[in-house]
Amino acid sequence: MVQEFEKVGVVGLGTMGAGIAEVFARAGFDVTGVEIDQAALDRGRGHVETSLSRAVGRGKITEEERAAIDARLTFTTSREDLADADFVVEAVPERMTIKRDVFSDLDRICPPGTILATNTSSLSVTEIAALTGRPERVVGLHFFNPAPVMKLAEVVTTVSTSAETVDIVTEVAKRIGKTPVTVGDRAGFVANALLVPYINDAIRLYERRVATREEIDASAQKAAGLPMGPLTLADLVGLDVCLAVMDVLWDEYRDPRYVAAPLLRRMVAAGRLGRKTGRGFYAGKDDPAEPQPTGRFAEMVREEETLELGEMLIAPQIDDALRMIGDGYASAHDVDTAMRFGCGYPKGPTELLEERGAEHVVTTLVAMGEYSLTTIAVPAPLLVDQLPDVGHDGHDH
């Protein structure tokens, strides 16, 4: 089926959409990129050109390969130019009104056999599919930023998506060099539902003056071998993006676990969104290190032997992952794959659990609960099941 694909459309050429267009063109597909007006189109083309120039400069592709990729890319302001597309990926801003406009247009313009994919990271794919007359051929295809570099692609299915569509899109994801994880339509999917609450936890610990931002970041990096700490990552992702994901998770689950930290909401309201505005948790490279907090929580954590700062960030994420696996939403393999390939984790949550042992994780969660430092009331059943001598058959599992 994939071999029959010739023309791919990408609607929306912001940083993400431009990256997606580049990924398909690099994989040998003819790509038509569509933007709303000439100015946006020029910006989108600029994103692709900058990225390809960087790839040539780093020796990732040759000038000849770049010329071949350029030849496969077409840019237009008319969605009508997608009338012969076999596969279209939508990458417009995360607002349902804009997506509704795009999908009703694509449904009218594209042949009935064309598969339509949304790159949404937070909206309901089911709702988007329902906007068309072909819900069985609509799927989520969630890329991670920067799209040419990050290997994960979440293939998000709805109750209406046909098995054939899932197979084709999974195959397409592999052909463009991605590692696909197939999941159902649920807020945050796998990666964001595990990553953003972890960032939110770090913000909450910082807000309660448990430790400095440098201590929080360094401890998380050390605990899980991460390339950067959660507060640095929040600045990179964008605090507005983190808040939007938390709000989507809250809307779906109404669970205290997904209440955005008040400090996160205040920083977004103040326009301190991280790197994109030049102000976030780290205002600039020359910021002085913060003084050591001396409040009640900081003292408690330093004195409490069962609480280590890094573990206070990793244990809740392991619990979230075990809950997700226990719900039957994703397999342990899919969860670990999503975090490794989508978020740059050296080890996934179940691998981190194996390293620590369930007893250590549960002890951390219980101690955090005693000091009101987590919103997790009871550890995940699947986690408790792994405790020594707690399994239903009376022995360790």
- Assigned token pair, 290: 């913060």
Beta bridge mates, 138: 116
User: DSSP characters for 307-332?
Assistant: --HHHHHHHHHHHHHHHHHHTTSS-H
253 near 187, Cβ under 8 Å? yes
Rg over alpha carbons for the chain, rounded to the nearest Å, is 22
Helix and strand totals (H; E) in the chain: 17, 8
Number of other residues whose CB lies within 10 A of the CB of residue 314: 25
Taking alpha carbons only, the member of 323, 94, 334, 317 closest to residue 190 is 334
Number of other residues whose CB lies within 10 A of the CB of residue 54: 12
Q: For 54, phi and psi rounded to 5 degrees?
A: -65, -40
Residue type, 40: A
Which residues are annotated as catalytic? 121, 142, 154, 192
3-class secondary structure, 99: helix
CA distance 368 to 374: 6
8-state DSSP, 395: S
The C-alpha torsion from 87 through 341 and 52 to 4, rounded to 10°, is -30
Give the burial string for 67-90 (b: 16+ CB within 10 Å, else e).
eebeebbebeeebebbeebbbbbb
- Alpha-carbon distances, residue 28 vs 3, 5, 46, 241, 376 (angstroms): 11, 10, 20, 32, 47
